[in-house]
Structure formats: structure tokens, C-alpha cells
Structure 1
Amino acid sequence: MADTSVPDRNEHAERMWKRNTVRRDVYQPVREALEEMAPGIDCCMYCGNHMADTVDHFVPKSRCGLRTFYWPNLLLACSTCNTRFKGNKHRSDGLVGSLLIDPTREDPFDHLDLGLASGVYRPVEGSAKGEWTIEVCGLNEGKRPRVRAEGWLNLADDLQGWEQARAAGDVRNMRRKIYRMRTQPFADVCYAALHKAVSEEAPLVFVDDDPAVLDLLRDDELRAALQV
């Protein structure tokens, strides 16, 4: 006899999630909590853009109704990722997890490499998760690479502005620069740069940039201020 309990359970979870009382008493508090935890300003956990405005289920409700109200399965996401790109797409990694990078459990940069000058993501060699995440989340679609590339230029300027403020003993301006770096759109640019700065390939990655930029990205005071 066919087991119809799972489809019924998933459909029930879908209906529950859409109830007005759930949207008021559960959805809104969850979204506000995720916004407080997010880097940048309401950073989308998939594409890195700011002003994310929805709560997404990492494992879709249609795949596992039991995770509908499971806290680790709820992520802050922008509407574009939640509906246009990721939606209900889901693949198993063949073990016990997802083929999509889970930002609550994994370091995305173990699977993804961001070209700072180009703003284009590429998978780390051999990473099926990197490939699938780029495809599912549309990381290189539309204007996203261009905005990331512009974000890198802005970040480099703010790094130098921070150093000038430090040299002048201008603590207020130092804090302003840190705030700008932490809250700029596509916060992943800042964290990718910080990650690359301490890698063995750093001298090659930053070869076309002002040498001071790499030194600043490695500066302990700056990294502490950015909560690295």
C-alpha cells in the first residue's frame, strides 16, 4: 500500500506556513531575528546582496514538511533568490546533506572563489557544491558581478580612508569607514577579500592592487574591527 503521509504532511506544512496567524506570530519575529544576525544590512544568505526581505527554507517545504518550522532550516533571503532562482530546487549531496552550500554550517569560500576585480564567482576546483550553488542562486546573473566589482573598488577606497584616519588619530572617521565596509551591498565582497588576504595565493591575487591594500586586509586591528 502506497504511503501518502509524506505528501499530506508537506501540503499541511505549506498551508500552516501561509496562515495569517503564523505570518504574524512566527514569520515576522523569525525574519527580524535573522535580520539582526545577518552581516551587512539584511544580507541575503545566498547571493550576498543587502536588503533581503524574505525567510527561505533551505530544504524546501515541499521536500520536507517537518523542517518548515525548524530554526536551522530558515535563512534570510532576497526575493530574487527565494523565488526567481532557488525556489524549490534541491539536491542531495549523496550523503546526509544538501548539494547547495549551507551558510549556517559551512564556509562558502571552501567551495566558491570570488574574483574581486571581475565580481564573478567560480567553483573551487572539484567542488560540486560550488558549481550547484552558483547555478541555483544565479550568483553570476544580471548585474550582480558588476555590482560586486564596484563594491571591491569602494572597499579598497574605504580601506585607505580608514588607514588615513588612523594615522590622523581620527577615531570617529575610522568607525565610519568600518561601518561602510560592513554594511555595503554584497557584503560577501568584504569577506572574500579578507579571506583571500591570508591565503598563500594572496601576493598573486592582489598583484594589480596598491600593496597597501593587502597590508591593510591583514591588519589585526582592522580585522578585529570587522569581526573576522
Structure 2
Amino acid sequence: MIRIVRPRLPSELESSLLKLTQELANTPVPERGDHTQRMWERHTVRRDVYRPVRDALEEMAPGVDCCMYCGNHMADTVDHFVPKSHCTLRTFYWPNLLLACSTCNTRFKGDKHRGDGLVGSLLIDPTREDPFDHLDLRLASGVYRPVDGSRKGKWTIRVCGLNEGRRPRVRANAWLSLEDDLKGWARARADGDRKGMRRKEWRMRNQPFADVYHAALRKAASDDAEVMFTNTDPDILDLLRDEELSAALHA
């Protein structure tokens, strides 16, 4: 899970979402739950609202349509951060919509929701806060740990199933691939192979589990970086700090 910037929607789509929210607000409270589901499944809503919203979420997602919870490729559903069953009036609220893979949306997160005891959610919202303030990703193992016992970190790991099944192993493999790409990029630069550099940059930008690269960058910029990367090729840390590579990957 990484920080994601949420852009403004086109005015026409924003207006459509507001009209749908107003329709819900005008629905008697006892009927609102059932009406919400019917609206969400309405043919015109799926065509004129759901699809454009999903397109917008895919544009803001890291990598290739990465799930905004687990970071895996090819997310294909629109999830309600605060579930419809908990707050129907947020069903068509743009800041409440996130791109998610089917596994996170149905098997793990689903309708789970818990407040943080103040005015927010205990689940990390990657469009409003930096997940790495609460989550630490161990690169070698691919396992997430809460930062300093963070309640948000613990709840997010549990609810999103971040350490379930093969997910840690796939993240660990993504780290190995990233190391290889970093070294390949450095070799291409040394050889003056600009095409080879661009290919490696493309791979790094679009690899599954984009959180691995962002976690590595975060660790490389920390005061404890030398300790964190003790068992890694020394060149890797220098490459993660390389200004030319950073500029190319964030262009």
C-alpha cells in the first residue's frame, strides 16, 4: 500500500455523482439501503458512472491498475472505502471510491469497517495519508509489520490480508526483480545504452506490487538505511538514491 494522489474528476462526471447522492438523500431512510444497491446495479449507472469512475481510478493507480490495498496488478473493481452498508450516502462520493482487486474487495476487506475513535477510519486510506507512517514492509521477506505497534497498521494488515497466502512471497520476488532491474539500469547507463535504460525504467514503473519499490525508496532515504541494507549489494542503496533514476521514474 502506497500514498496515491487523487485528481479532480471531469465536471460532468462529478455532477453525475452529486445527482446520485442527492437521489439517495431524498430516499426515506428505511428504504435507503435497498435503493442504494439497486442504484449501484442500475444499467445507466454502470455505463455512465461506474465505468468512467473506474477509468479515473486506473489512471491514478500505481503500476498497471494496481489494487490500492494490496498493490497487485490488474485490479478490476471499484471499492467503497467506507462500505455502502455502513454509510449509504458515501456510495457515489468520489473520495470514498478506490480501485481494488476482487480478492481484496470480496475475500478480505468486504464490508469490514471500524472507526479510529476520533473522526476517521482505522483502515489506512492511501489517498489521504501515507501508509508508510503505519506500515513497514520487510523487503527480503515481503512481510508487512505495523510501525511502532500502530493500530491502523495492525488493522490494515489484517483487514486487507496483506500477509495472507503467497502475497509476501510474491513481494519478496518483486524485490529481487527490482534489484536486478536497478543493476541492469546501471549497466545500461555505463554502456551509454539509453534504450536499455528506458526499458529498465519501464519495468520498474510497471511491475506488480508497486509498494515494494516505494518502500525501498523510503528506507533508502532514512537515517538507518546503511543498517537496513546491510545484506544487500552496496550499489543497490546508491541506485535507490540516484537522482537521475528517481527523476526518470517519477517523470
Q: Which residue of 2 aligns with 1:190?
A: 213
Q: Which residue of 1 aligns with 2:17?
A: none
- Match of residue 159, structure 2, among 120, 136, 143: 136
1:6 positional shift: 4.1
Shifted more, 137-146 versus 215-224: the winner is 215-224
Residue 126, structure 1, aligned to residue 149, structure 2: yes
1:159 positional shift: 0.3
Q: Which residue of 2 aligns with 1:81?
A: 104
Q: What CA distance in whole angstroms lies between the structure 1 residues aligned with 2:114 and 2:241?
A: 37
- Match of residue 204, structure 1, among 198, 222, 227: 227
Residue 224, structure 1, aligned to residue 247, structure 2: yes
Q: What CA distance in whole angstroms lies between the structure 2 residues aligned with 1:188 and 1:198?
A: 15
Q: Which residue of 2 aligns with 1:25?
A: 48
Q: Which residue of 2 aligns with 1:159?
A: 182
Residue 98, structure 1, aligned to residue 121, structure 2: yes
1:58 positional shift: 0.4
Q: Which amino acid in 2 is paired with 1:87? A: G
Q: What CA distance in whole angstroms lies between the structure 2 residues aligned with 1:176 and 1:6?
A: 55
Is there any run of 5+ residues in structure 1 with no aligned partner, and where? none
Q: What CA distance in whole angstroms lies between the structure 1 residues aligned with 2:37 and 2:95?
A: 18
Q: Which residue of 1 aligns with 2:8?
A: none
Q: Which residue of 2 aligns with 1:40?
A: 63
- Match of residue 178, structure 1, among 184, 198, 201: 201
Q: What CA distance in whole angstroms lies between the structure 1 residues aligned with 2:210 and 2:149?
A: 25
C-alpha root-mean-square deviation of aligned residues, in Å? 1.3
**Other structure's SS at 1:125 match:** helix
Q: What CA distance in whole angstroms lies between the structure 2 residues aligned with 1:198 and 1:18?
A: 46
Q: Which residue of 2 aligns with 1:57?
A: 80
Q: Which amino acid in 1 is paired with 2:87? A: C
CA deviation map 1:28-47 (0-9, x unaligned): 11111111111101000000
**Other structure's SS at 2:223 match:** coil
Please tell me whether the aligned partners of residues 55 and 77 of structure 1 are also in contact (alpha carbons under 8 angstroms): yes
**Other structure's SS at 2:149 match:** coil
CA deviation map 1:142-187 (0-9, x unaligned): 0000000000000000001111111111111111101101111111
1:227 positional shift: 1.4
How many aligned positions are there?
Answer: 225
Is there any run of 5+ residues in structure 2 with no aligned partner, and where? 1-26
Q: Which amino acid in 2 is paired with 1:111? A: H
Q: What CA distance in whole angstroms lies between the structure 2 residues aligned with 1:114 and 1:67?
A: 31
Q: What CA distance in whole angstroms lies between the structure 1 residues aligned with 2:60 and 2:242?
A: 25
Q: What CA distance in whole angstroms lies between the structure 2 residues aligned with 1:15 and 1:123?
A: 38
Q: How does the TM-score come out when normalised to structure 1? A: 0.96
Q: What CA distance in whole angstroms lies between the structure 2 residues aligned with 1:219 and 1:9?
A: 54
Q: Which residue of 2 aligns with 1:215?
A: 238
* Residues 1:91 and 1:5: Cα distance change in structure 2 (over 3 Å): farther
Q: Which amino acid in 2 is paired with 1:202? A: A
Q: How does the TM-score come out when normalised to structure 2? A: 0.87
